[in-house]
C-alpha cells in the first residue's frame, strides 16, 4: 500500500505539494532516515502576527530549501504563529516556530520531520508492576521500520490504559513498568492493528498494510505522464499494488491483473488473448487497451517483462484518466511501473522463487465420437457404397476399418479376421495415446533476484530473473531471462538524472501443436480408434494424406518413405522463436523555480525477433515435399527430384527500433485556498520495423551449407495430383514506420482542498498514410470535477465519515490503419505468373477520413462507512464512439467492393463497483473485496447493414475479425443469433426450421430463403455484460489465505455439435452422434438429427446454427487460492534475513456453477484449463 515515491519525488511532486503530502512520503522518509543530521548555516527572517503554521513552514522552506514532512492532519491541530526574527540561524529559529505547537521536529539532512508530542506514560498505580522494561520494534511488510506507531497497554478487559508510547525513527520502542499479563496494542494509520502478549523483548512486530485503506494511505496513480495522488484524481483509475500483483503466480505480467481489476474482462478463447476495458468503444478498429511500461507505450512482446520487476499497475479507464494518451487511449490504458531504488535507503537484496506444476489437459474429455460409434458408422457407410468410388490416382487416406472392409470385399482376407481386428479397434481410444505421448504435466520455474539501495544523492536497483517453463505439450518449452538496472542521481539540489537498462531474452519452442496436430492430412480428421504406439510403446504411423497402399507402392517404386508417424515426427522438426528486447531510458529532472519543474525523458527500445522452423531430412514435411515433386522418366521410372532430399529451414526475422523523447513542464503552485497542479509538454515517437522471411533447401546445420541451385522458375508436374506447380519459394521483406508528434497538457485546480477541477488536452499528429495534413492532428480533451463532500462544514454524517463525488467527461481516440485518404497500392512481392513485382490497390481514396473519437462520461462516488466496515467506490460511465470506421454502402461498379469510412457510431455504458470490507473476529482478520462491473454496448449508426441471416451465425467475439462483423443498429457488436428451431421431424428425425408463415419445415432452401435478419432469434450478448469477482482474505497471525471467486452473467455461447457432412466428407465426428435420432419417438429425448446419406449441408447447417445449440454462458468460478506464511516474525531482529515468506498458490480450480447443462466451460469451450499449483518463497536480506 505504501508508495515508495521517493525516486519520483522531484519529478512528480513539487515542494508545495510536500506540505500537503500525506503519510506516504512521511513514512518513506522516516524509514530511510540516516542519522546524519547537519544543519548548515542557514539563516532565516520571519515576521508576522497569527500567521498560519503552514504559511510559516512554507516561508522557512522557501528561504532555506528545507522540506517538511508530516501528516496533513497535524495542520488542523497547528496553532497560529506570531514571530519576529531576523537573519537567525535555522537551528535557533525552529524552537521558536515550534513553540506551543502540538508536535516536535527532527532534522535530518534537508528534511525536517514533524512528530506529534505524545504524553509520556505515567506510572499508573492500579496496575501491578511486573516488567520494568518492554522493548520491541515495529516494521512494515517490507521490513522497513515504522516511525510513530502507537504502542498502547491494554488492561485485563482489553481497554486501553493511559500507558502508551510511540516508536522512534528506527521503529523501536521502550515501555517501562508494564503490568504482568497485559497486552500491547500496536496501531499505525493505514495498517492493521496487532495485539501481542507482553514480555521483556517483544521482538519485531510486522504490521500489515490494509488494502481497503485507500483513502488513508496516499496512493499515487501513474498516468504515464505524471503521478497523481489518487485522492485528488477526478478520473477513473484502478491501482493494482505490489501485494495484489504478487498474489498470483504467473509468467506473464498481464495475467496478474485479471479478475482483480474492476471493468477489465479477459477472453482467452481466440487466437490471441483479448482484454476489454469497460464497454466496447469501437467496431472494426483496434479494440485492445494501450499498454504503457515506464511512461512509454511498450513495443514488442509484453511477455518479455518479468512480473517480479513490476512495482504496480494502474488501469486508466475514463476520459480524464486516459485522454492524456489521446488517440491511443480509446480502449483504456494499462500503465505498468517497474520497481526503483530509493534515496537514503539501506542496501537490500530481495529474492523470489517458485515452482508451478500444472496437470495435463484432459484430452480424453474432447467431445469426439466413441470408437464403437465410429466403426459402426464406417461399416454403415461402407455398406452404402460410400467407399466405392475411391480415386486411384490420388487416393485419400482411408481408415484401417475401411481398408479391412475393402480387403474383405475383394476377398483378400477372411471375415473372422476382419471381425477380430475390428473388435480390437473398438477398445482403442486415441485420446489416451495423445494424452500419454503428446502431453505432460507442465513445470514452470521462476527465479528473481534484485538488489536496491541508495544514499542521499544516488539510488539504484539491479535485478535479474530466470523463467524456465516446461509446457504441457511434449517438446514445447519457454525460457526467459531478464536483466535490468536503474539508477537515479542528484548531482545538485535542483537536478535529478535517471537512467535504466532493461534486457530480456525469451526462447519459445512451439514445436508441437498438441491434439490438433494429429489428423489424416488433407482436412481429414483422425479416427478415434487410431493407435499412435504399438503394444511395446513404439510410435507407429497412421494413414496420412494418401492411402496406405499408395504410400507403400510409392516406396516400393523407389520413392522416399512416405509414411507419417505423428509422435516420431515431433522429434524431426524443431521450432524456435527467439525474442530479445532491449530498453534504455534516460531522464533529467530540473527544478526551474520552486514551483516549476522541467523534465526531459528519452527512451530507446530495440526488439530482435527470430523465428526458425527446422525440418530434418527424415521429417514428414521434407519427405512429402521431395516425393510430390519427384519427376518420372519416359519409362515411368523415378527421374529427377528437383527438391533435394535434405533438411529445410524456414526462418523469419524482425528488428524493431523505437525511440521516444518527451519534454514536459510541471507547475505546482499554491496561493491561499487555491492550488494548481499542471503539466504540459510535447513528445515525438517513432517506431521502425524491418523484417524478412526466407527458406533454405538442403540445409546442413553442421557445416552451414544450403542448396543454391533450386529451380524456382520451371513448372513441375507434381505427384500424385499431376497438377503443375513451381517449387515453393519463400522470400519476403517488410518495412513499416510509425511516427507521431503529440502535444499534451493536464491541469487540476484545487479549491479549499474540497473542490478539484481538472482538464486535459492533447493533439496527436501521425504519419497515417495519406491523411491530409490538417486532419493528421486531432484534438482530444477532458474535463473533470471532484467534490470532497465529507469535508464540507454542513456535512455531519458520522455514519459515512468519508464521501467524495467525481465527474468527468471527455474524448479519447482510436485509429484504424487499414484506411487512407488517397488511392494507395501495396506491393505484394513478385507475381507467381511472371516473376515481376506486382501491386494491388489497397484503398479507395477517402479524403474525409478522420480518427475515431470516443466520448466518455464517468461519475463516481468514493465512500467509507464508520469503523471502516465498508468502503469502496461506485462508478457509472457512458462511452460513445463517434466517427467510427465502418463499412459504407458503395456502388461496386466503381471497382471497390468495400468502402470503409467514418460512418458508424456506438453507445456503451456501464457500472464499476468496488466494495471493500474488513472485520476481526477472534484473532482472525478478514478482508473482503467485491467487484461488480456492467458493460453494455449497442450500435447506434451503421450505414451498410447486412441483413442476410447467414451473416449473423458466427460468434465474432472470439477472434474479432473485422471482415466478418455485421453490425446492426440497436444491437451490440458481438451478439449471438440463431435460426428458430421447430424440433426434429417425428417421422424422419430431420431438423426443422420455420418458414416465413410460421409453419415448421424441412425444406431447407426455403427455410434459409425465407429467414431474414428479422425472424432470427437474437439471444443476447456474446460477451458477459455482468462480471466481477469476490476476493476473501483471512489473516491469522502469520498465516493468510486468500481465494478469489469470479463470475460472469448475462451472455450466451454456441455449443458445438455434429455436422454430418463434415463427418461424411472428412470423418470429423462429435460425441453427439450417440444421441442422434434413430427411430420415431426419439425426438422426445434428443434434438440431434438423424443420420442421412448422403449428407446435406443445408440440413446440417440448420441444426448447427439453430437456437437449440445456444446456451447461457453464466458461470461462477473458483479461480484461485493463495496461501501465505510470513516467517518474518520468527526471525531474530539481528538475523541476516529480514523477511521471509512462504507461499502456495493454486490456479484454475474450476467452475462452482454454470448455467449450461452440457458440462461445457464457456470460457474454455473445447478443453478445460489445466489446474496449476505453485510453491514459492520470497525473502529479503
Partner 1 sequence: MKTLCVIKNLLITIGLVIIAGSCKEQLLERKPDNKLVVPTTIDDFKALMEDPYTFLTNYLNYAIVSSAEYELTLENWQSLSFAPERNAYIWASDVFEQSTASGGWDNYYKQILYTNIVLEGLEKIAETQQNKEDRDQLKGVALFYRSNAFFHLALIFADVYKAESNNSLGIPLRLTSDINAPTRRATLGETYARITADLEEAIQLLPDFQRHVTRPAKAPAFALLARVYLYMGNYQQALHCADQALQRKPNLIDFNQLSWQDDYPMEMYNIETIFYANVSASASFRAPICRVKTELFNSYDDRDLRKQAFFGLNEDESHSFKGSYTGSNALFSGLSSNEMYLIKAECQARTGDLDAAMETLNTLLKTRWEEGAFEPLHSENQLDALKAIINERKKELLMRGLRWYDLKRLNTDERFQETLTHNLDGTVYELPPNDSRYTFLIPWYIIEATGIEQNKR
| 758-797: contacts with partner 1 (CB under 8 A) | 765-770, 773, 776
Shortest reach from residue 602's CB to partner 1, in Å: 9
Tell me which residues in 794-823 interact with partner 1 (CB under 8 A). 817, 822-823
Nearest CB to partner 1, comparing residues 777 and 940: 777
- Which of 156, 362, 730, 841 forms a contact with partner 1 (CB under 8 A)? 841
Q: Do 297 and 786 form a contact (C-beta atoms < 8 A)?
A: no
C-alpha 76/C-alpha 52 separation (Å) is: 10
Half-sphere exposure of 1102 (CA within 13 A, CB side): 29
Closest separation between CB of residue 690 and partner 1, Å?
Answer: 8
Calculated CA dihedral for residues 415, 417, 423, 427, nearest 10 degrees: -150
Among 478, 851, 899, 1051, the residue binding partner 1 under the rule CB under 8 A is 899
- 722 binds partner 1, rule: CB under 8 A: yes
Query: At closest approach, how far in Å is the CB of 721 from partner 1?
Result: 7
Nearest approach, Cβ of 830 to partner 1 (angstroms)? 8
Return the number of the residue (415 or 634) whose C-beta is nearest partner 1: 634
Compare residues 372 and 553 and give the one whose CB is closer to partner 1.
Answer: 553
633 belongs to the binding site for partner 1 (CB under 8 A)? no
Question: Which residue in this structure is represented by grid cell 479507464?
Answer: 317
Other CB atoms within 10 Å distance of the CB of residue 945: 14
Given a contact cutoff of 8 angstroms between Cβ atoms, the answer to whether 983 and 1115 are in contact is no
Task: Please write down the HEC assignment for all residues of 968-1029.
Answer: CCCCCCCEEEEECCCCECCCCCCECEECCCCCEECCHHHHHHHCEHHHCEEEEECCCCEEEE
Question: Whose Cβ is closer to partner 1: residue 615's or residue 744's?
Answer: 744
Cα distance between the two ends of the chain: 21
**Own/partner long-range contacts of 478-481 (Cβ < 8 Å, ≥24 apart):** 478/251, 478/506, 478/507, 478/508, 478/509, 479/506, 479/507, 479/508, 480/251, 480/303, 480/304, 480/306, 480/504, 480/505, 480/506, 480/507, 481/505
Show contacts with partner 1 in window 137-196 (CB under 8 A): none
CB of 382 to partner 1, least distance (A): 15
Distance separating alpha carbons of residues 1170 and 1163, to the nearest angstrom: 13
Return the residues of window 423-442 that contact partner 1 according to CB under 8 A.
Answer: none
Q: Of 281-289, 888-896, 901-909, 1035-1043, which segment contacts partner 1 by CB under 8 A?
A: 888-896
Shorter beta-carbon distance to partner 1: residue 413 or 690 = 690
Please give the DSSP secondary-structure letter assigned to residue 128: -
Judged by CB under 8 A, the stretch of 448-456, 512-520, 638-646, 829-837 that binds partner 1 is: 829-837
CB 167, CB 173: distance < 8 Å? yes
Burial of 953 (0-12, 13-18, 19+ CB in 10 A): middle
What torsion do the CA atoms of 862, 790, 208, 1036 make, to the nearest 10 degrees?
Answer: -80
Exactly one of 441, 828, 867, 1080 binds partner 1 (CB under 8 A); that residue is 828
Q: Does 592 bind partner 1 (CB under 8 A)?
A: yes
Q: Which of residues 929-948 bind partner 1 (CB under 8 A)?
A: 948
In the complex, minimum distance from the CB of residue 271 to partner 1, in angstroms, rounded to a whole number: 23
Q: Rounded to the nearest whole angstrom, what is the least distance from the CB of residue 821 to partner 1 in the complex? A: 10
Shortest Cβ 489–partner 1 spacing (Å):
15
- Interface characters, 374-413, with partner 1 (x: CB under 8 A): --------------xx---xx-------------------
- What is the smallest separation between the CB atom of 1022 and partner 1, expressed in angstroms? 23
Q: Residue 594, interface with partner 1 (CB under 8 A)?
A: no
Grid cell for residue 192: 492493521
Q: Which of 34, 347, 420, 831 binds partner 1 (CB under 8 A)?
A: 831
Interaction with partner 1 in 980-1019: which residues (CB under 8 A)? Answer: 1005, 1009
Cα(1110)–Cα(955) distance, integer angstroms: 11
**CA–CA gap between residue 851 and residue 856 (Å, rounded):** 16
SS3 of residue 232 by DSSP: helix
Interface of this chain with partner 1, residues 639 to 678, rule: CB under 8 A: 661-663, 665
Please list every residue from 729 through 748 that binds partner 1, using CB under 8 A: 734-741
Residue numbers 595-614 binding partner 1 by CB under 8 A: 598, 600
Residues making up the chain, counted from first to last: 1181
Question: Per CB under 8 A, does 417 bind partner 1?
Answer: no
Nearer to partner 1, 776 or 806 (CB): 776
Among 834, 963, 999, 1132, binds partner 1 (CB under 8 A): 834
Residue 42 phi/psi, 5-degree rounding, is -90, 135
Contacts of 1051 (CB under 8 A, 6+ apart): 976, 1020, 1021, 1022, 1023, 1024, 1025, 1112, 1113, 1114, 1162
Nearer to partner 1, 27 or 962 (CB): 962
Residues of span 1043-1102 touching partner 1 by CB under 8 A: 1094-1097
CB of 961 to partner 1, least distance (A): 17
Q: Indicate the residue among 151 and 402 with the shorter CB distance to partner 1.
A: 402
- Residues in region 42-81 near partner 1 by CB under 8 A: none
Residue 740 Cβ vs partner 1, minimum distance, rounded to whole Å: 7
Shortest distance in whole angstroms from residue 1004 CB to partner 1 = 10
Judged by beta carbon, residue 891 or residue 997, the one nearer partner 1 is: 891
Only one residue has cell 501481542, namely: 196
User: Taking a C-beta distance cutoff of 8 angstroms, is the pair 189, 175 a contact?
Assistant: no
Bin 779: left if φ > 0, else alpha if -120 < ψ < 50, else beta: beta
Chain-centre distance of CA 189, in angstroms?
33
Q: Segment near partner 1 (CB under 8 A), from 543-551, 592-600, 971-979, 1024-1032?
A: 592-600
Distance in Å, CB of 1064 to partner 1, minimum? 10
How many residues bind partner 1, per CB under 8 A?
81
721: contact with partner 1 by CB under 8 A: yes
Contact 1071, 1064 (CB under 8 A): no
Per CB under 8 A, which of residues 223..262 are in contact with partner 1? none
DSSP 340: -
Judged by beta carbon, residue 339 or residue 776, the one nearer partner 1 is 776
Shortest spacing between CB 891 and partner 1, in angstroms:
4
Smallest distance from the beta carbon of 779 to partner 1, in angstroms?
Answer: 16
Task: Please list every residue from 844 through 863 that binds partner 1, using CB under 8 A.
Answer: 844-845
Residue with cell 495435463: 360
545 binds partner 1 (CB under 8 A): no
Residue 724 within binding range of partner 1, rule CB under 8 A: yes
Instruction: Specify whether the CB–CB gap between 894 and 988 falls below 8 A.
Output: no
- Span 473-502, contacts to partner 1 by CB under 8 A: 492, 494-495
890, 924, 953, 1179: which one binds partner 1 (CB under 8 A): 890
Q: What is the nearest approach in angstroms of partner 1 to the Cβ of residue 584?
A: 17
Strands (E) located in 261-309:
264-267, 274-277, 290-293, 296-297
Looking at 125, 157, 635, 891, which residue binds partner 1 (CB under 8 A)? Answer: 891
Owner of C-alpha cell 496406405? 548
Q: What is the footprint of partner 1 within residues 945-974 (CB under 8 A)?
A: 948
CB of 772 to partner 1, least distance (A): 12
Round to whole Å and give the CA distance between 699 and 695: 9
Amino acid at each position: 500500500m505504501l508508495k515508495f515515491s521517493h525516486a519520483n519525488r522531484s519529478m512528480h511532486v513539487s515542494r508545495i505539494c510536500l506540505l500537503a503530502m500525506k503519510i506516504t512520503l512521511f513514512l518513506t522518509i522516516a524509514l530511510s532516515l540516516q542519522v546524519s543530521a547537519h544543519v548548515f548555516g542557514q539563516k532565516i527572517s520571519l515576521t508576522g502576527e497569527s500567521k498560519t503554521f503552514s504559511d510559516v513552514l512554507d516561508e522557512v522552506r522557501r528561504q532555506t530549501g528545507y522540506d517538511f514532512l508530516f501528516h496533513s492532519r497535524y495542520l488542523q491541530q497547528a496553532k497560529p504563529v506570531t514571530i519576529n526574527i531576523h537573519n537567525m540561524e535555522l537551528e535557533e529559529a525552529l524552537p521558536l516556530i515550534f513553540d506551543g505547537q502540538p508536535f516536535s521536529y527532527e532534522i535530518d539532512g534537508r528534511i525536517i520531520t514533524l512528530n506529534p508530542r505524545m504524553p509520556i506514560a505515567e506510572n499508573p498505580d492500579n496496575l501491578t508492576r511486573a516488567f520494568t522494561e518492554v522493548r520491541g520494534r515495529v516494521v512494515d511488510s517490507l521490513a522497513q521500520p515504522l516511525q510513530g506507531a502507537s504502542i498502547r497497554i491494554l488492561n485485563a478487559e482489553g481497554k486501553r490504559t493511559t500507558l502508551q508510547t510511540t516508536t522512534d525513527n528506527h521503529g523501536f520502542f521502550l515501555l517501562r513498568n508494564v503490568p504482568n499479563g497485559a497486552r500491547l496494542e500496536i496501531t499505525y494509520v493505514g495498517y492493521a492493528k496487532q495485539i501481542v502478549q507482553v514480555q521483556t523483548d517483544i521482538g519485531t512486530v510486522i504490521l500489515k498494510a490494509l488494502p481497503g485503506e485507500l483513502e488513508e494511505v496516499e496512493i499515487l496513480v501513474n498516468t504515464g505522464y505524471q503521478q497523481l495522488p489518487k485522492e485528488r484524481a477526478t478520473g477513473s483509475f484502478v491501482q493494482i499494488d505490489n501485494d495484489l500483483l504478487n498474489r498470483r503466480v504467473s509468467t506473464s505480467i498481464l495475467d496478474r491483473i485479471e479478475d482483480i481489476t474492476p471493468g477489465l474482462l479477459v477472453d482467452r478463447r481466440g487466437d490471441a488473448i483479448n482484454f476489454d476495458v469497460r464497454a466496447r468503444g469501437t467496431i472494426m478498429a483496434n479494440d485492445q487497451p494501450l499498454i504503457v511500461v515506464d511512461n512509454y507505450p511498450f513495443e514488442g512482446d509484453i511477455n518479455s517483462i518479468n512480473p517480479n520487476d513490476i512495482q504496480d499497475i494502474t488501469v486508466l479507464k475514463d476520459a480524464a484518466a486516459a485522454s492524456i494518451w489521446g488517440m491511443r487511449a480509446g480502449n483504456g490504458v494499462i500503465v505498468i511501473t517497474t520497481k526503483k531504488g530509493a534515496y537514503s535507503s539501506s542496501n537490500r537484496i530481495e529474492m523470489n522463487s517458485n515452482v508451478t506444476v500444472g496437470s495435463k489437459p484432459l484430452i480424453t474429455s474432447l467431445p469426439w465420437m466413441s470408437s464403437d460409434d465410429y466403426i459402426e458408422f464406417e461399416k454403415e457407410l461402407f455398406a452404402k457404397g460410400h467407399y466405392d468410388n475411391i480415386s486411384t490416382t490420388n487416393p485419400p487416406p482411408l481408415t484401417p476399418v475401411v481398408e479391412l472392409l475393402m480387403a474383405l470385399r475383394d476377398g483378400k482376407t477372411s471375415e473372422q479376421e476382419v471381425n477380430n481386428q475390428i473388435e480390437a479397434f473398438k477398445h482403442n481410444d486415441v485420446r489416451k495415446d495423445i494424452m500419454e505421448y503428446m502431453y505432460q504435466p507442465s513445470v514452470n520455474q521462476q527465479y528473481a533476484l534484485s538488489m536496491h539501495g541508495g544514499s542521499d544523492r544516488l539510488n539504484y536497483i539491479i535485478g535479474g530473473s530466470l523463467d524456465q517453463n516446461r509446457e504441457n505439450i511434449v517438446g514445447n518449452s519457454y525460457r526467459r531471462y531478464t536483466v535490468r538496472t536503474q539508477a537515479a542521481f542528484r548531482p545538485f539540489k535542483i537536478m535529478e538524472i535517471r537512467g535504466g537498462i532493461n534486457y530480456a531474452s525469451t526462447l519459445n519452442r512451439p514445436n508441437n501443436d498438441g491434439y490438433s496436430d494429429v489428423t489424416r492430412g488433407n482436412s481429414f480428421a483422425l479416427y478415434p480408434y487410431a493407435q499412435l504406439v504399438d503394444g511395446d510403446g513404439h510410435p507407429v504411423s497412421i494413414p496420412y494424406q494418401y492411402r496406405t497402399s499408395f504410400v507403400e507402392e510409392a516406396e516400393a517404386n523407389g520413392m522416399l518413405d512416405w509414411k507419417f508417424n505423428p509422435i516420431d515426427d515431433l522429434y524431426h522438426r524443431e521450432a524456435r522463436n527467439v525474442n530479445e528486447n532491449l530498453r534504455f531510458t534516460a531522464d533529467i529532472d530540473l527544478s526551474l523555480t520552486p514551483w516549476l519543474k522541467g523534465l526531459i525523458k528519452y527512451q530507446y527500445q530495440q526488439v530482435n525477433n527470430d523465428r526458425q522452423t527446422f525440418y530434418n531430412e527424415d521429417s514428414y514435411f521434407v519427405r512429402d515435399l521431395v516425393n510430390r515433386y519427384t519427376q518420372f522418366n519416359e519409362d515411368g521410372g523415378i527421374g529427377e527430384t528437383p527438391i533435394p532430399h535434405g533438411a529445410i529451414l524456414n526462418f523469419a526475422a524482425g528488428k524493431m527500433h523505437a525511440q521516444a523523447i518527451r519534454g514536459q513542464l510541471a507547475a505546482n503552485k499554491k496561493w491561499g485556498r487555491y492550488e494548481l497542479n499542471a503539466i504540459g509538454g510535447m513528445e515525438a515517437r517513432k517506431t521502425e520495423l524491418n523484417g524478412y522471411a526466407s527458406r533454405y533447401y538442403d540445409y546442413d546445420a553442421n557445416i552451414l551449407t544450403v542448396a543454391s541451385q533450386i529451380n524456382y522458375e520451371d513448372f513441375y508436374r507434381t505427384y500424385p495430383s499431376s497438377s503443375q506447380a513451381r517449387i515453393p519459394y519463400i522470400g519476403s521483406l517488410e518495412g513499416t514506420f510509425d511516427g507521431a508528434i503529440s502535444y499534451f497538457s493536464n491541469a487540476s485546480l484545487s479549491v479549499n482542498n474540497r473542490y478539484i477541477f481538472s482538464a486535459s488536452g492533447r493533439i496527436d499528429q501521425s504519419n497515417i498514410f495519406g491523411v491530409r495534413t490538417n486532419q493528421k492532428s486531432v484534438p482530444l480533451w477532458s474535463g473533470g470535477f471532484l467534490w470532497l463532500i465529507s469535508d464540507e462544514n454542513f456535512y455531519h454524517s458520522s455514519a459515512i465519515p468519508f464521501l467524495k463525488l467525481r465527474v468527468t467527461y471527455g474524448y479519447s481516440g482510436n485509429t484504424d490503419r487499414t484506411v487512407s485518404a488517397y488511392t494507395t497500392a501495396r506491393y505484394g512481392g513478385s507475381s507467381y505468373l511472371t516473376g515481376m513485382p506486382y501491386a494491388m490497390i489497397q484503398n479507395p481514396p477517402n479524403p474525409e477520413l478522420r480518427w475515431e473519437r470516443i466520448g466518455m462520461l464517468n461519475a463516481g462516488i468514493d465512500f467509507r462507512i464508520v469503523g471502516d466496515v465498508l468502503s469502496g467506490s461506485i462508478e457509472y460511465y457512458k462511452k460513445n464512439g463517434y466517427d467510427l470506421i465502418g463499412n459504407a454502402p458503395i456502388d461496386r461498379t466503381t471497382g471497390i467492393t468495400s468502402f470503409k469510412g467514418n460512418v458508424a457510431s456506438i453507445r456503451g455504458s456501464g457500472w464499476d463497483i468496488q466494495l471493500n470490507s474488513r472485520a476481526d473476529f477472534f484473532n482472525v482478520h478478514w478482508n473482503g473485496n467485491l467487484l461488480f462491473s456492467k458493460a453494455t454496448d449497442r450500435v447506434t449508426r451503421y450505414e451498410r447493414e447486412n441483413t442476410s441471416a447467414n451473416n449473423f451465425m458466427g460468434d465474432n467475439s472470439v477472434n474479432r475479425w473485422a471482415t466478418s462483423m455485421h453490425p446492426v443498429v440497436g444491437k451490440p457488436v458481438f451478439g449471438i443469433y440463431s435460426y428458430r428451431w421447430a424440433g426434429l421431424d417425428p417421422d424422419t428425425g430431420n431438423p426443422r426450421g420455420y418458414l416465413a408463415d410460421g409453419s415448421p419445415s424441412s425444406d431447407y432452401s426455403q427455410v434459409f430463403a425465407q429467414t431474414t435478419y428479422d425472424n432470427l432469434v437474437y439471444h443476447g450478448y456474446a460477451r458477459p455484460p455482468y462480471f466481477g469477482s469476490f476476493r476473501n482474505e483471512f489473516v491469522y497471525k502469520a498465516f493468510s489465505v486468500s481465494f478469489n471467486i469470479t463470475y460472469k452473467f448475462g451472455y450466451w455461447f454456441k455449443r458445438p455439435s455434429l455436422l454430418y457432412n463434415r463427418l461424411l466428407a472428412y470423418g470429423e465426428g462429435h460425441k453427439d452422434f450417440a444421441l442422434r435420432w434413430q427411430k420415431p419417438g426419439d425426438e422426445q429425448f434428443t434434438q440431434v438429427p438423424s443420420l442421412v446419406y448422403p449428407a446435406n449441408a443445408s440440413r446440417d447447417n440448420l441444426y448447427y446454427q439453430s437456437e437449440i445449440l445456444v446456451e447461457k454462458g453464466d458461470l461462477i468460478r473458483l479461480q484461485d487460492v493463495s496461501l501465505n506464511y510470513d516467517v518474518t516474525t520468527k526471525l531474530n531482529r539481528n538475523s541476516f534475513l529480514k523477511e521471509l515468506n512462504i507461499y502456495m498458490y493454486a490456479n484454475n480450480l474450476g467452475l462452482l456453477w454454470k448455467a449450461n447443462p452440457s458440462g461445457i466451460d464457456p470460457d474454455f469451450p473445447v478443453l478445460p484449463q489445466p489446474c496449476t499449483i505453485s510453491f514459492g518463497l520470497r525473502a529479503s536480506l
